[in-house]
Amino acid sequence: MGIRVAVAGASGYAGGELLRLIAGHPELDLVAATAHSQAGAPVAAVHPHLTGLDVTFGATDPAALAEADLVFLALPHGESGALAAALPSGVKVVDLGADHRLRDPDAWARYYGGEHAGAWTYGLPELPGQRGEISIATRVAAPGCYATTISLALAPLVAAGAVAPDDVVVVAASGTSGAGRGAKAHLLGSEVMGDLTPYKVGRHQHVPEIKQATGARSLSFTPVLAPMPRGILATVTAVPRGPADPRQVLAEAYADAPFVHVLPEGAWPHTGATLGSNACHIQATVDVDSGRVIVTSALDNLGKGAAAQGVQCANLMLGLPETMGLSTHGVAP
Amino acid sequence: MGIRVAVAGASGYAGGELLRLIAGHPELDLVAATAHSQAGAPVAAVHPHLTGLDVTFGATDPAALAEADLVFLALPHGESGALAAALPSGVKVVDLGADHRLRDPDAWARYYGGEHAGAWTYGLPELPGQRGEISIATRVAAPGCYATTISLALAPLVAAGAVAPDDVVVVAASGTSGAGRGAKAHLLGSEVMGDLTPYKVGRHQHVPEIKQATGARSLSFTPVLAPMPRGILATVTAVPRGPADPRQVLAEAYADAPFVHVLPEGAWPHTGATLGSNACHIQATVDVDSGRVIVTSALDNLGKGAAAQGVQCANLMLGLPETMGLSTHGVAP
Amino acid sequence: MGIRVAVAGASGYAGGELLRLIAGHPELDLVAATAHSQAGAPVAAVHPHLTGLDVTFGATDPAALAEADLVFLALPHGESGALAAALPSGVKVVDLGADHRLRDPDAWARYYGGEHAGAWTYGLPELPGQRGEISIATRVAAPGCYATTISLALAPLVAAGAVAPDDVVVVAASGTSGAGRGAKAHLLGSEVMGDLTPYKVGRHQHVPEIKQATGARSLSFTPVLAPMPRGILATVTAVPRGPADPRQVLAEAYADAPFVHVLPEGAWPHTGATLGSNACHIQATVDVDSGRVIVTSALDNLGKGAAAQGVQCANLMLGLPETMGLSTHGVAP
Amino acid sequence: MGIRVAVAGASGYAGGELLRLIAGHPELDLVAATAHSQAGAPVAAVHPHLTGLDVTFGATDPAALAEADLVFLALPHGESGALAAALPSGVKVVDLGADHRLRDPDAWARYYGGEHAGAWTYGLPELPGQRGEISIATRVAAPGCYATTISLALAPLVAAGAVAPDDVVVVAASGTSGAGRGAKAHLLGSEVMGDLTPYKVGRHQHVPEIKQATGARSLSFTPVLAPMPRGILATVTAVPRGPADPRQVLAEAYADAPFVHVLPEGAWPHTGATLGSNACHIQATVDVDSGRVIVTSALDNLGKGAAAQGVQCANLMLGLPETMGLSTHGVAP
């Protein structure tokens, strides 16, 4: 018998990816998969790609989850707080939702509304010192998919003083699974195939999380919906400070990070190259016309942007090798 | 008998779109479609979507083209100059290539190399005063697809002094047809579907054209290849100057432009909504965190970004109604 | 002032395509566009690709529709009958729904259920004698998209005795717009991109319509959902009778049909080549192993499969040229 | 040190998938990856999704491959024979190409041409008795992707006498990676996105392999290119013989097969559900109109259709658990 884990909110896309990763993980045993609206249904009826996984969804019941050594929460924003509070303190928790990410209650109120559930250890192991913090934590808030993509591109540059924190401009495009599995007309295949569209322009709720994680003081962030199921590509630009080569700064920051790859010079990230993996690919240059630093980063929004990163955090919290059950190789083409 | 037109380079994507538009145009008669490598082949063998168009490709021969009242050039960059020089001055020419766009020979030399063919009237009718210039011109250089998308979003704001010209940051994603029809492994469907990737980061050859057309003095431009055949979405950000509402400035600039639509507040552009048309959709806002102006614009790179814009210019040069044979309505979903 | 037309059910995909075609039609004037759930909304808010079309949706009210010379019905199956009955007999009607297609009330009851609204003239002009029937009709039931694709491939072969009517096997794949605009989870972009799946296998409601239109007596029909917004590709196989060359039979049947193209030998249909058009592309051969006749046909399910075919019928009913306002050329790539 | 394996032809799509699977396999160690045209290049330069795999392509040299315990051949058709002949008999070989699949030299000559390399043990473990044959073989010819999809759907029904072998009709659609990585214009993303097209209609070279594997005596097979990178969906229809429930026959045939899943009644296969896995999903019914048996099957053409099936064979040949290093779970959405 391995380590007992449970997934709350297992019928969504991030939940399904957690189930897939847990099924392939050498040390984790799934003891409960809960889904409010699907309780009683076989997992494979909701996730046909998990055919062969003989598990039935349960109701999202704290008692059932409390049987686990570690619980993953993959719930809609605003629902994690109450459930987490009902779990015994001895049960470790990784929350993939937004509820416990922000340290600033005002930012929470301004962008999400409702009561702030309080901040947990931020689950981005590649931030300076964060791997250690996660390893001793019992409650970890995994970052959002945009925040992960942008923070991995930007945080080391701000920390090193290589770019100014006060004029950061980001455009990031995401595959449709980032918008969730709810049946909405604007997310129909007929609408999204062949189409690019920006959304929440000038006021996205992830801005405070990105600023908190990167040290940016002023952030223009424009998200774009792209015609593919998975993947985020972020283009991050900032004004350089001093002569440091941004690619070199990033390469040094991630020299020991198993999942973050600063690509060889001349190679640029492809979201497709990270599909299904926990990898993030990064490249940087200096623009010849404007002199701005341009960093691009790519990952799988359900992988390093959600479920796989959650498993990475769980591995650290459980004393397992950080890479166990995770892949750095995408499924391509 | 209508007005006689010819297309040189008719086997490529922009050439094929020209043939489609000409076939549906009430006043234009196609007298020659030339294609170096496909001479002698039926058009429909190369463009199956033009099945029913009973035309055979000819060789790219100045004498054959000189039979036309107006010639469209849809040739690879660097090939228009010589062919145009061989055409009689009485034949009007619209060049969809880059050869005659730049006024600055140094910029040409730096980004393209080779001898500069000289600048023609710039074929973006929506720029201030440009509609009149095009109407009296015999040689018009139609803008590039990225330059059109970005200039329509930015030029009125710079001209009105509503944004500073010296810190413009642009990220724009394009469908794959913008990369042409040459058989290259990185453009295979297997590679591009499900994938976003930046390219030519920090040094794209269209930067001088965009600066010339918009008045921007410093431009960070990152192009991205998106998994769809057609469409460009540009996200343009700049620092505001003064209190002008950017959306209002744009709405006034395009009040009489039949093909450029500033969308109702709250609506954001979709590339898919412009497919096959000559429309450009634009929306603007001010970012709540950074205070930057964000403008997004969408069009069809083969439509308003190439062939349809070429026909719009031809209409003006020939004294026809500007909108003849063109649609503002995309083919969607 | 041209001929007055109205569209009931104008907020759906077929309705939107009708609005687009009517806006580009030289003789048709739109006097009403109705949509139950969107009454009062601007058309462009629902159909962003029709930005610039200054029309507001009305309620689906027979009195408003009765102002038109001809009404297009683009309603869900089962809703056309009652509305059509409420329109004056002097108003011509083209119904894109299924209600009036079947001559056999038992087949209606078995596959659709509810009361049979009665059969109208079947709106497939390329069937033998049907062009004339439509020209004198005041009520026309336009065929379904699958039925059009399959009938154009098969009907001439059965009529000519070139294939046996009693062992026809069809597999046809459709883009997602054929499934409509309702927000359903299995039609989300995240689900359909990268995916092929069969549906309604062995019991599709369009089987009786296809048999009625083609003369097939036994039909195995398997529909497949394909990852693209538009297009149907049908593969129709049947057992040959006699030595006739199936391609030749089809070529002769469509020699005078402006929208149906039997391709040159060696060329096979592409759905993409028909996008946005009223064209159907067909090719046929005899299988070297089984000796079966194989016919493949491709069209745009919203074009020749729905709205454009409706306009073709309307042209005939109104005494206009059959091709007016319609294109044989697809938008590609 | 585990078991030493090598991959010849490692720069193609099947070769890349082999490298990915070997990297994640607990017992296999990659000792050589050869690629004619890429010798000397880092693997990640050709396969960006394998970033982090520190391997360089070698030349396709028998001596280098002979260091391995088992060699995978992922070469173009016609190139395996000579290379295999140059390997020592003690080196086990799994050939993913077509060269050693056909037992009938005449069929080889008719469909492929050139000299027949001779038949090896056929690597489809789910065929009756084949698992044992593969386990004792030193040379295995893994089936083609279409042949695998169709054989898994059909072979048990023919073997059980549940369908007639002499009127089998198949339509199967494949993602673009099945057409390989060569730069061909008709495989460009611009061409294939939004498009379905049949090809090699009536004369596909895989027909004799499918007949050999299934026992079908007459086969009409129409392949279709679908707009997605991976996946095959086959629709197989045949005339029933006797009262057996086809779904039940298939369920019994695969009761102990870890990778072939007959889905619950009412559920139909999705290619997307098998992405990246070695799974094949199957469902069957009887058509209410024609009485034909309809079986649909879905798999990943690079997974169970090529590389993963090759690893499954290798596991058997090496005495490892059949499922080692392979997944039954697709990466979805």
| Minimal-distance CA residue of chain D relative to B183 | D185
pLDDT tier at B1, thresholds 50, 70, 90: low
Residue C184 and residue A183: Cβ atoms within 8 Å?
yes
Identify which of D270, D278, D333 has the alpha carbon closest to the alpha carbon of residue D305. Answer: D278
List of chain D residues whose C-beta atoms are within 8 Å of the C-beta of residue B176 = 188-190, 193
The verdict on a CB contact (< 8 Å) between A177 and C185 is: no
Query: In angstroms, what separates the C-alpha of D123 from chain B's closest C-alpha?
Result: 26
* Beta strands B197-198; D260-262: pairing state: unpaired
Residue at token pair 């049946």: A183
Residue A110 has pLDDT above 90, yes or no: no
Chain B nearest C-alpha distance from A240 (Å): 13
The pLDDT of residue D115 is 84
What pLDDT is attached to residue D88?
96
Residue partners of D153: CB distance under 8 A and separation at least 6: D234, D236, D250, D282, D284, D295, D296, D297
Min Cα separation D253/chain B (Å): 34
Asked if A277 has any chain D CB less than 8 Å from its own CB, the reply is yes
- With beta carbons under 8 A apart, name residues in chain A contacting C192: 189, 193
Q: Which pLDDT value is given to residue D114?
A: 82
If you write DSSP's letter for every residue of B71-96 in order, what string do you get? Answer: EEE---TTSHHHHHHTS-TTSEEEE-
pLDDT for position D110: 87
Is residue C146 within 8 A of residue C243, CB to CB? The reply is no
Put the strands of the sheet holding A168-174 in their side by side order. Answer: A197-198, A219-225, A168-174, A232-238, A293-299, A280-286, A260-262
A106 in reach of chain B (CB within 8 A): no
Average pLDDT (B269-283) is 98
pLDDT digits (tens, 9 = 90+) for B138-163: 999 999 999 999 999 999 999 999 99
**A301, A237 in Cβ contact below 8 A?**
no
Q: Positive or negative CA dihedral for D9, D14, D16, D22?
A: negative
**Cβ-based contacts of D270 with chain C (< 8 Å):** 195-197
Cβ pair B80, B59 in contact under 8 A: no
Q: Output DSSP code: residue A144.
A: P
CB C225 within 8 A of CB D188: no
pLDDT for residue A185: 96
For residue B62, cis peptide bond before it (omega within 30 degrees of 0): no
Q: How confident is the model at residue A115 (pLDDT cuts 50, 70, 90)?
A: confident
Q: Please judge whether C188 and A191 are an interchain contact, meaning their C-beta atoms are less than 8 angstroms apart.
A: no
Can you read off the two tokens belonging to residue A80?
């994690």
Inter-chain touch D48–A230, beta carbons under 8 Å: no
Query: ω before D243 within 30° of 0 (cis)?
Result: no
Contact D289 C167 (CB under 8 A): no
Cβ of B195 and A169 within 8 Å? no
Please judge whether D183 and B181 are an interchain contact, meaning their C-beta atoms are less than 8 angstroms apart: no
Name the residue type at position D155: A
Question: What distance, in Å, lies between the first and last C-alpha atoms of chain C?
Answer: 36
What is the rounded distance in angstroms from the CA atom of residue B85 to the CA atom of residue B2? 26
Q: Give the whole-angstrom CA distance, residue A102 versus residue A80.
A: 14
Catalytic residues of C: 145
- CA atoms within 13 A of residue C15's CA, in its CB half-sphere: 27
* Minimum Cα–Cα distance from B12: chain D residue: D185
- Structure token pair of residue A68: 């686990």
Helices C145-159 and C207-214 cross at an angle (nearest 10°) of: 30
Please classify residue D50 by burial: count the beta carbons closer than 10 Å to its beta carbon, then call 0-12 exposed, 13-18 middle and 19+ buried: buried
How far apart are the CA of B224 and the nearest CA of chain C, in angstroms?
19
Question: Residue A6 belongs to what H/E stretch?
Answer: strand A3-8
- How close are the terminal C-alpha atoms of chain A, in Å? 36
Which chain C residues have a beta carbon less than 8 Å from that of D237? 169, 220, 222
Q: CA A168, CA A237: separation in Å to the nearest integer?
A: 6
CA of B233 vs chain C CAs: smallest distance (Å): 15
Percent of chain B with pLDDT over 70: 100
Cross-chain Cβ contact A332/D49 below 8 Å: yes
Mark the ranges of chain D whose per-residue pLDDT is less than 70.
1
Identify the residue whose tokens are 């779109």. Answer: B17
Q: Do A53 and D329 touch (CB under 8 A)?
A: yes
Distance, CA of A277 to CA of A270 (rounded, Å): 13
> What are the tens digits of pLDDT across the range A255-314?
999 999 999 999 999 999 999 999 999 999 999 999 999 999 999 999 999 999 999 999
Residue A1 pLDDT class (50, 70, 90 cuts): low
- Exposure class string for A268-283: b at 16+ Cβ within 10 A, else e: bbbbbbbbbbbbbbbb
A198 contacts chain D (CB < 8 A): no
Contacts of A184 in chain C (CB under 8 A): 183, 188
What ipTM was estimated for this complex?
A: 0.96
Give the mean model confidence (pLDDT) for residues A90-112.
Answer: 93
Closest partner residue to C220 (CB to CB) among D224, D275, D294 is D294
**What are the structure tokens assigned to D247, written together?**
């779904």
- Which residues in chain C show pLDDT less than 50? none
Residue type, C223: P
Residue C179: its chain A contacts at CB < 8 A?
A: 190
Across the interface, whether the CB atoms of B181 and D187 are under 8 A apart is answered: no
Residue A217 in 3-state DSSP?
Answer: coil
Q: Which of D53, D229, D328 is opposite residue A329, by nearest beta carbon? A: D53
Residue D195 tokens read as: 């498009």
Tell me, what's the pLDDT at A36?
Answer: 86
- If 0-12 CB within 10 Å is exposed, 13-18 middle and 19+ buried, where does residue B274 land? buried
Please choose, from the candidates C177, C188, C279, the residue with its C-alpha nearest in 3D space to the C-alpha of residue C229. Answer: C177
The CA distance from A173 to A155, in Å, is: 19
CB contact at 8 A, B280 and B328: no
Q: What is the pLDDT of residue D113?
A: 84
The two tokens of residue C268 are: 């096979």
Q: Are A312 and A299 in contact (CB under 8 A)?
A: no
Asked whether residue A9 carries a pLDDT value surpassing 90, the answer given is yes
C-alpha to C-alpha distances, B191 to A177, B160, D277, nearest whole angstrom = 20, 43, 19
Whether the pLDDT of residue A204 is over 90: the answer is: no
* pLDDT at residue number B263: 98
Phi, psi of B46 (to 5 degrees): -95, -35
Asked if C304 has any chain B CB less than 8 Å from its own CB, the reply is no
What per-residue confidence (pLDDT) applies to B114? 82
Chains linked to A by 3 or more Cβ pairs within 8 Å: B, C, D
pLDDT of residue C117: 87
Query: In this complex, do A193 and C191 lie within 8 Å of one another by their Cβ atoms?
Result: no
Q: Say whether residue D41 is in contact with chain A using an 8 A CB cutoff.
A: no
Is any Cβ of chain A less than 8 angstroms from the Cβ of B292? yes
The minimal CB distance from D185 to the residues B183, B228, B229 is found for B183
Q: What is the pLDDT of residues A141-172, one digit of tens each?
A: 999 999 999 999 999 999 999 999 999 999 99
